Amino acid sequence: MNEKTIFIVCLMFLWLFTLSGCCTRAGIRDNGDRAYEVRAHIGELSERQTESAIASEQLNGTLEGAREKSENLSGELTRSREQSEHLEQSITDGAGDIESLAAILQRIRARGCRNNSGKAGNNQ
């Protein structure tokens, strides 16, 4: 009985070895072609990744330049707004000064007409 069991086990191992050999040979036969295709794709992906990195750096530089320009424009707008407010204040103060000068001029004319009515001409 022992010899029969050992014989059956040996036959099963031989049968499994034969089946695994067939499957392995079929799988290895086309494996070389696929490896070359994969290597080609890896090389192509590497080139594209390099191009992508370069483009990313260029975009980062462009964005940094745009950010700096935006900050400069923002500063110029702030200064322009301050100058506009200063000019508006000057105009308002100037209008008050003109009114004040007009009142002073009216008083001078009125005083000049009363005190020196004989000497005053028609310069009113």
Residue pLDDT, tens place only, 19-73: 776 655 555 555 667 777 888 889 899 999 999 999 999 999 999 999 999 999 9
8 Å CB contact between 109 and 121: no
**CA dist list (Å): 75 to 66, 80, 85:** 14, 9, 15
Q: What is the pTM of this model?
A: 0.42
Check pLDDT > 60 for residue 123: no
